[in-house]
Each structure stands twice: as structure tokens, then as C-alpha cells.
């Protein structure tokens, strides 16, 4: 109960709040501001490139009056919807993996469920999200580079930030499957325990075997939240394109 109360007070992106509710670790507020953290993440080469992009006076692109951004908006919306559909298991071949039960010795088959298929599923979706979001981000930068000088500058700054922060983003998000694996084990142990024991999930106590459905819902929620997180740069560039 103490851990639940601490997690409930956490502010931040939905992705962080989902993870904080599921993992059994203390989460403390950041002691540094965003500019301070960025100064640690950017090396000198990235800092120079960013300074150049911010301080230079780029010429306007080939089209000072851009056509409607409706084509890009539709492409981004369709791509995002397709990823969300795959996460929910509604797309072709995108159903969530069934747990692979080991030969039963004691307890239910659910108690012997294997996390490996879920890890593989999550990592596959991460690769898809990274690929799609990166492609759309590059396309939107190309469109901005055709516009006014401010749009050209924004495209250059975004390109520098993507090169600088993508490795750190990849490292941090690559740790999520391991965190979900710990959540999987806690739910399994809670499902095997007596009903009087406190459940590891935020959901109400569930009968034996139902913990696997709880985990599937939790994993889906984290994936959808990560999708929103990965699309934030895309949304920002789209917004800039709309305000041409």
C-alpha cells in the first residue's frame, strides 16, 4: 500500500506513470532541470551542431508558401493507427502471444507461463514504432525545409536533436521489457499465493490464472503509452507545418 501511494503522486508522461505503477522500485523526482540534463546528454560535437542550427540564418526553402499539410497528417494518422491496431492485436498476425506453458508439475498451467514470447513481442513492436516514427519524422523535416527560414531552422534543430538523443532514447526504452518481466513475475507469484495476500497489480485481486490477462492488459497499456511518447516529435513537427 505504501508503494501504491508513492506511485500515485508521480507526475510525468503517461508512459512513466504506467511503469511507475507496475515496477516495485522507488521513483524520486528529478533533481535537475531539463536544460541541465540535456547539457549532460549532448557531447561537444552535438552542442556545436545545435548552436550552429540555432544561430545561423538559413535561407527560405524552395517553397515559401507550402501546400496543405493534409497529406502528411493523413499519413501520420494512418501509420499511428496501424501501430495501435497491431499493439492491440487486431492487425494481421499481430495477436498477442500465448504464454507457453511448461510441463505441469505443481499448480496451474498459467503458473508455468513463460515470459519470453511477451518479451519478443514487445521488442518487435518497439522496432516497428522506432522505424515508422523515424521515417515520418524525416519526411516532415523535408517538408519544413521547403518553407520559411524559421521552418528550415526548426528542421535543422530537430535533425541535430534526433542524432544526439536517439542513442540514449534507445538505451532507456530497451530496458522496458526487463521491467515488464519483473512485473510478470510479481503477478505470477501473486496469482499463486493465497487470496488473502496483497496482489502485485493495481487491479483488484483476481482469481488464480487471471493474472496473465492482467499482465496482457498492462503490457498493452505500456506499449500504447510508448507509442504516444515516440510520436511526440512527429506531432511537434506536424504542428509546425500546420502553422506555416
Per-residue pLDDT tens digits for 44-71? 687 777 777 777 777 666 555 555 578 8
pLDDT exceeds cutoff 90 at 183: yes
pLDDT at 118: 95
b/e 65-79 (16+ beta carbons within 10 angstroms → b) = eeeebeebeeebeeb
pLDDT band at 107 (very low <50, low <70, confident <90, very high): very low
pLDDT at 2: 38
Which long-range contacts (C-beta less than 8 Å, at least 24 apart) are formed by 188-192?
188/110, 188/111, 188/113, 191/110, 191/111, 192/107, 192/111
Helix (H, G, I), strand (E, B) or coil at 35: helix
pLDDT at 98: 44
Burial class for 161, CB neighbours closer than 10 Å (0-12, 13-18, 19+): middle
pLDDT at 214: 92
C-alpha cell at 148: 520559411
**Mean of pLDDT over the chain:** 77
CB-CB contact of 201 with 189 (8 Å): no
The rounded percent of the chain whose pLDDT value lies above 90 is 41
pLDDT at 55: 74
Higher-pLDDT residue of 108 and 35 is 35
Query: Which range, 73-82, 110-119, 209-218, is most confident?
Result: 73-82
In this structure, what are the phi and psi dihedrals at residue 154, rounded to the nearest 5 degrees?
-60, -40
pLDDT digits (tens, 9 = 90+) for 123-146: 999 999 999 999 999 999 999 988
Q: What is the DSSP letter of 203?
A: S
pLDDT at 64: 54
Give the span between the Cα atoms of 80 and 129, in whole angstroms.
9
Percentage helix, strand, coil for the chain under 3-state DSSP, each rounded to 5: 65, 0, 35
pLDDT exceeds cutoff 50 at 197: no
Query: What is the number of other CB atoms lying within 10 angstroms of the CB of residue 197?
Result: 12
**How confident is the model over 23-33, as a mean pLDDT?**
62
Residue whose grid cell is 498493452: 220
pLDDT band at 26 (very low <50, low <70, confident <90, very high): low
pLDDT exceeds cutoff 60 at 206: no
The distance of Cα 54 from the centroid of its chain, to the nearest Å, equals 28
Amino acid at each position: 500500500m505504501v508503494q501504491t501511494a508513492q506511485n500515485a503522486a508521480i507526475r510525468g508522461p503517461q508512459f512513466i506513470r504506467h511503469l511507475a505503477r507496475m515496477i516495485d522500485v522507488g521513483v524520486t523526482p528529478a533533481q535537475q532541470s531539463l536544460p541541465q540534463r540535456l547539457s549532460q546528454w549532448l557531447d561537444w560535437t552535438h552542442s556545436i551542431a545545435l548552436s550552429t542550427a540555432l544561430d545561423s540564418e538559413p535561407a527560405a526553402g524552395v517553397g515559401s508558401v507550402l501546400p496543405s499539410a493534409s497529406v502528411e497528417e493523413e499519413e501520420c494518422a494512418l501509420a499511428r493507427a496501424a501501430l495501435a491496431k497491431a499493439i492491440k492485436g487486431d492487425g494481421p498476425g499481430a495477436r498477442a502471444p500465448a504464454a507457453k506453458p511448461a510441463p505441469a508439475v505443481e499448480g496451474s498451467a498459467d503458473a508455468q507461463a513463460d515470459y519470453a514470447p511477451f518479451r519478443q513481442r514487445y521488442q518487435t513492436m518497439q522496432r516497428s514504432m522506432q522505424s515508422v516514427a523515424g521515417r515520418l519524422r524525416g519526411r516532415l523535416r523535408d517538408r519544413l525545409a521547403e518553407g520559411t527560414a524559421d521552418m528550415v531552422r526548426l528542421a535543422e534543430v530537430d535533425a541535430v536533436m534526433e542524432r544526439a538523443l536517439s542513442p540514449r532514447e534507445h538505451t532507456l526504452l530497451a530496458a522496458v521489457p526487463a521491467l515488464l518481466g519483473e512485473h510478470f513475475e510479481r503477478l505470477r507469484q501473486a496469482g499463486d499465493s493465497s487470496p488473502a495476500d496483497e496482489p502485485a497489480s493495481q487491479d483488484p485481486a483476481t482469481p488464480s490464472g487471471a493474472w496473465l490477462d492482467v499482465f496482457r492488459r498492462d503490457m498493452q497499456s505500456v506499449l500504447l503509452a510508448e507509442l504516444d511518447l515516440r510520436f511526440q516529435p512527429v506531432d511537434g513537427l506536424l504542428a509546425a507545418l500546420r502553422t506555416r
